[in-house]
Amino acid sequence: MDVAKFLVQKSEPLNGEVVISGAKNAVLPLMASAILAEEKCIIRDVPALRDVDVMKDILRSLGSEINELEESIIEINTEKILKCEAEFDLVSKMRASFLVMGPLLARVGRAKVHMPGGCSIGARPIDLHLKGFEALGAEIIVKDNYVEAIAGPQGLVGNSIYLDFPSVGATENIMSAAVLAKGTTYIENAAEEPEIVDQANFLNKMGAKIKGAGTDTIKIEGVESLHGAQHTVIPDRIETGTFMLAAAITHGQILIKNVVPDHVKPITAKLRECGVTVEMGDEGMYVIADNPDLVATDLKTLPYPGFPTDIQSPFMAFLTTVNGASTVIETVFENRFMHVAELNRMGANIKTDGNRAMIQGAKQLEGAQVIATDLRGGAALVLAGLVAQGTTEISEIYHIERGYEKFTDKFRGLGANIFRIED
């Protein structure tokens, strides 16, 4: 692991425009879904991220050919799948690598994946994925360090599957397994995130028959085979939310381009409650926070279309700086407050009790040496550093770079004092 750090210094209000990249949480399942095609697929607006590189390596290890056609455009050729096992050293780097399991199971009837890695933000069990595969007729073998799924002699067979929790990963994995199953599959209590809709749209372009993506019940009629397709990744709503908060915390004015307003409705609503102006124009979304007296609000994370857990920590950094007390309740991941100790080290006043954080706002933050404990927690520390007196030194930034493309370039383009240094 490299030992690069971010140095962030108190900045003027951010000003200018920024273009949002393709969504990390959409592109990874799209790349995995390409395994299902017996021809080439082309994906556009692919962000240059570590996680994308890991997924490329996993697909290559299975026999895919991947070509970079232009910046942010890749061609994936999965005509030949040579292996059905995802290698441990790749899978251990990223949790989303588990998303190759459904497509492999559907395409070649067998999939073996080592237990996944990724951010340490709580238990994200894979039992819902496996329950879904089992309902489609697969035999599941779970060992200490790997899990294997084997389709029966008849292949996968459609079924009704109820998810105990609307898991995004399980919905994506089961949906991609079911597209080649015999008969019809229903996924009930499915995740409704925009990334699910994006994957369903891609699969449908490949010849799948999926209806209801974006609602709590998805219907999938199995087909014989899938062909190649071209697709453009949706904009990253979490990156959008991060820059909305960058404008808010610095009392700046930012034009955010390549935005789907519906995808960030809960973030927009909460920022407006705090006194921030958010407006859509012809060019994109304007976020204007020139009101000097922004106020606190309470928030509770929920599965989409509720407030996104991925924006909870950046929003908390903002809440430390506004007038009043606020409460943040985290219902999605039980270990999502690891950034609190780091923000408190910078002078924030945050107390936690289980899944509840109480924030006393209007604090002048102070620069400090802090650690990016996870991807979004790291982004929260950068936002805090923009308004903290002095210099904030953030280590373990590989977490942040897993999920944000051209992170320092985009912030510096808005006037932020942020530098990436190699130790």
pLDDT in the model for residue 119:
47
Evaluate whether 11 touches 415 at the Cβ level (below 8 Å). Answer: yes
> What gap in Å lies between CA 358 and CA 33, rounded to an integer?
41
Evaluate whether 148 touches 140 at the Cβ level (below 8 Å). Answer: yes
pLDDT in the model for residue 30:
98
User: What is the arrangement of strands in the sheet containing 139-142, beginning at the earlier edge strand?
Assistant: 85-86, 110-114, 146-150, 139-142
> What average pLDDT does the segment 11-26 reach?
98
Evaluate whether 311 touches 242 at the Cβ level (below 8 Å). Answer: yes
**125 annotated to a ligand binding site:** yes
Evaluate whether 90 touches 97 at the Cβ level (below 8 Å). Answer: yes
For 341-370, how does the pLDDT look when each residue is reduced to its tens digit (9 = 90+)? 999 999 999 999 999 999 999 989 999 999
Written as six digits, the tokens of 119 are 């951010």
pLDDT tier, 423 (very low <50, low <70, confident <90, very high otherwise): confident
**310 annotated to a ligand binding site:** yes
pLDDT in the model for residue 97:
85
Residues in the chain, total: 423
**290 annotated to a ligand binding site:** no
**Residue 84 designated active-site:** no
Please, what is the Cα angle at 395 between 391 and 396, to 5 degrees? 155
Could you say which of 41, 84, 119, 274 is catalytic? 119
Among 82, 36, 31, 41, smallest CA distance to 177 is for 36
Q: Which domains does the chain have, with CATH numbers?
A: 4-21+235-422 (3.65.10.10), 24-232 (3.65.10.10)
Instruction: Return the C-alpha torsion angle 178, 184, 189, 192, nearest 10.
Output: 60
The neighbouring-strand residues paired with 210 are 220
**147 annotated to a ligand binding site:** no
Q: Tell me the chain's radius of gyration from C-alpha atoms.
A: 22
Among 378, 288, 310, 297, smallest CA distance to 4 is for 378
pLDDT at 120 over 70: no
> What average pLDDT does the segment 235-240 reach?
98
> What gap in Å lies between CA 397 and CA 174, rounded to an integer?
33
Please, what is the Cα angle at 83 between 81 and 85, to 5 degrees? 130
DSSP string of 263-289, one letter each residue = GGHHHHHHHHHHT-EEEE-SSSEEEE-
Written as six digits, the tokens of 132 are 């879904």
H/E stretch holding 367 reads none
b/e per residue 105-137 (b: at least 16 CB within 10 A): bbbebebbbbbbbbbebeebebebbbbbbebbb
Evaluate whether 227 touches 37 at the Cβ level (below 8 Å). Answer: yes
What does pLDDT average to over the chain?
94
pTM beyond 0.85: the answer is: yes
**25 annotated to a ligand binding site:** yes
Among 338, 37, 51, 54, smallest CA distance to 207 is for 37
pLDDT in the model for residue 25:
95
pLDDT in the model for residue 88:
80
> What gap in Å lies between CA 400 and CA 382, rounded to an integer?
10
Written as six digits, the tokens of 127 are 């039992």
